[in-house]
Structure 1
C-alpha cells in the first residue's frame, strides 16, 4: 500500500473489513488489548472482542476508546476525512468536508473536532535541537475598521464600549518555533511576562538561544537563556542570525487558514485549531501515508459530542 492521493486511499479501503484489519494492525500490531483494563487475554466474538480478565469481561471492538468510538460513519469515510484534514495546508471547513464526502455538516464538524483531538500533543514537546529558537505572539480577531459602524468600539470616559456591550479584545496566541524544526502554540490571556516565561521554559532547554522582538514580556528570558531581540520599532528586521522571520511566516499560514477557511473561531475551540495547524506543520516532511499512519497511532482520544459542546 502506497497512497499519495485521496482516490488511491479510497481504492484501497473499499470494504469496511479492510479498514478494520488495517486499523487493528496500526493500533495493536496483531495483539488485541482490552481498552478497558489493558488485558491481553482477549477472545474473538461475532461482533468484535471480549476481555478474558475475570474482573472485566467487557465486549469491545477495534474502535472502542478511539476517536471513532460510537460513530455511525464508516471507517472508509473517517480515513478520507483524516487524509483531507491533515494534507490541506490551511485546513478544510466542515461545510466543504460534508460536500466532499456526502455527510451532514453537523457530522463533519464533529468529525473534524475529533481529528483535532487526535492531533493534540499528549505531553509537552521539547524544542531546540537546532539550538536556535524564535518566539513571538500574534492576535486573532477582526479589525475594528472592518466592523459595521454600530459594532465598532467607542471611547466613553476612557472605557471601551460597543453600544452597551462589553468590548471583546482579540485572542492572544504565543508560539515557539525552532529553525528548520517544530512549532508549539498556546492560547493565553495576554502577552505577559509570566505567560511567555512559563511557556518557553516548558518547551525549550536552557542551552538554546532564543530570538524575539523587543516586547517587554521577553526581557526575563535572559535569566534562563541566551537571548537576543530584533528591533522592529526601528524598522530593523534582520541582524545576522537575529530575526523572527520563521515564526512570522508560520503566523501568515495560520491566519490565512483561520480567516480564509474557518472565518471565525470561538475562544472555546481555538486551542483545538492551534493543535491542528501545529501538527500539520510538524509533520510537513512526511509523505501523505506516513503522516496518516503517524496520526492513527495517536487516535486513542475519544471525544463525545456532549463533551465537545459542553459550555466551559
Structure 2
C-alpha cells in the first residue's frame, strides 16, 4: 500500500460517519478547508487546524500512515504477542518508538474491559506472573519459583474472570485474597451468574451472594460439574507471551499485557482482517493516551494499576 492509499484509509476509518470527509474534532463541524500543501484541515467555524490523527492515540505522529497500519497488522497477527524489539526490526524504527506504540495499542484493547459485566456460567481463577529470580540453567541450581525465598517481591496475580464459551476479563491484584477477589467479582460478574472456582479459601465468602460450584484440584482436575479449565486455558496464552515473547514484564505494566491477551482470546475465531479493522477503528476514535504520550520525556505512568492494591 502506498502512503497516499494509507492516508485515505485513515480518513475513511476516522470519519466513517461523514464518508471520509473531515470532521472538526474540536466543535464537530463538517465544514472545513483543505490545505493542498500539507495534510491538515481548518474548521470554518472555530478556525482551528487539525489532521486525521489529531486527538487520537496517534496524535503528534512522526511515522508514515502506512507504518502505523503495518504495526497494527503485526500486532493483531501475533496471537501470543510481539516484543517491542521485534516490532522495531519489522518496521525499521527505534526500539523506544516501537515500545510506546505497542503499549498504546494495548491501552486501546483494554478499554472494553473496564466496565464489562459477565453473565451466565463464569469461571474464576488466579495465576502469578513475574517476580522470580532467574538462576543459571544448571540442573542442580534449578529451584521452585513458587516458593517465597526464590522471589524478589514483585510477583503479581492476574485474576481471570471468564464466561463459558465467552469473554475473559483480567484483573491484576497483589495476591489472591478474599477482599481482592470479592472486589473483582462484584465489579465484573452479574449477581445472577453462577461461579465456578477452585478450592481456594478466598472464594468461601462468595457462597452467600452467588451460586457457587467448587472443584478441589488436589483431588481431581474436573468432576463434570465444577470446572475452571477455560480460565486456566487463557493463562497459557499469557504465560507464553511472558516467557516466549517478552521474557520480562514489569508489574507496572502487567495489566496492559493481560488486556492484550484477553482481547485476542475474545476474538480468537475472527479473521485477521476483522481484527485489523476493529483495532484501527478503535485507535482512531480514542483520545490521546495520558500514560504514553510523551513517555520518553518523563510522562510515565505513576504506579501500578491494581483493582485492589492491598
Q: Report the CA distance between 1:59 and its aligned residue.
A: 0.6
- Please name the residue that 2:45 is paired with: 53
Give the 3 Å change call, closer, same or farther, for CA 310–125 of structure 1 in structure 2: closer
Which has the larger displacement, 245-254 or 190-199? 190-199
Tell me the residue number matched to 2:117.
Answer: 126
Provide the residue aligned with 1:147 in structure 2.
Answer: 135
How big is each residue's C-alpha offset from its partner over 1:6-35, in whole Å with a ceiling of 9 and x where there is no partner? xxxxxxxx2222112212221211253222
- The alpha-carbon deviation at position 69 of structure 1 amounts to 1.4
Return the match for 2:272 from 266, 276, 288: 288
Going from structure 1 to structure 2, the CA distance change for 1:277 and 1:301 (only over 3 Å counts) comes to farther
- Hey, what does 2:64 align to over in structure 1? 74
Identify the range of structure 1 (249-258 vs 296-305) with the bigger mean alpha-carbon deviation. 296-305
- The residue that corresponds to 1:6 in the other structure is none
Deviates more, 1:29-38 or 1:271-280: 29-38
- Separation (CA, whole Å) in 1 of partners of 2:299 and 2:246: 18
- How many angstroms does 1:195 deviate by? 1.6
Relative distance call for 1:94 and 1:28 in structure 2 (3 A) is same
In the alignment, which of 35, 38, 49 is matched to residue 25 of structure 2?
35
Gaps in structure 1 of 5+ consecutive residues = 1-13, 154-159
Quick check: 2:196–2:212 contact (8 Å CA) kept in 1? yes
Query: What are the Cα deviations for residues 25-78 of structure 1, in whole angstroms up to 9, with x where unaligned?
Result: 212112532223434443323332112334xx2111111111221121112111
Structure-2 separation of matches of 1:189 and 1:17? 48
Is 1:273 aligned with 2:257?
Answer: yes
For 2:66 and 2:177, how far apart are their aligned partners in 1? 45
CA distance in 2, matches of 1:167, 1:266: 12
- Check whether the contact 1:118–1:301 (CA below 8 A) recurs between aligned residues: no
CA shift, 1:267, in A, is: 1.7
Structure 1 contact 135–247 (Cα < 8 Å) conserved: yes
Matching of residues 151-190 of structure 1 within 5 Å? 167-190=152-175
1:296 and 1:214 map into 2 onto residues whose CA distance is 42
Corresponding position of 1:156: none
**Alpha-carbon offset, residue 100 of structure 1:** 1.8
Mind listing any 5+ residue stretches in structure 2 that lack a counterpart?
304-310
CA deviations on 1:152-174 (whole Å, 9 max, x unpaired) are 99xxxxxx889xxx941411111
RMSD between aligned residues: 2.5
Q: CA deviation at 1:177?
A: 0.7
Distance 1:276 1:70 in 2: 24
Q: In 2, distance between residues paired with 1:215 and 1:161?
A: 22
Distance 1:118 1:216 in 2: 35
Contact 2:155 2:251 in 1 (8 A): no
C-alpha distance in 2 between matches for 1:138 and 1:161: 18
TM-score normalised by structure 1 residue count: 0.83
Distance 1:134 1:310, change over 3 A: closer
> Number of matched residues?
283
Once the two structures are TM-superposed, the CA of residue 308 in structure 1 deviates from its matched residue by 5.6
Distance, in Å, in 2 between the alignment partners of 1:263 and 1:308 is: 25
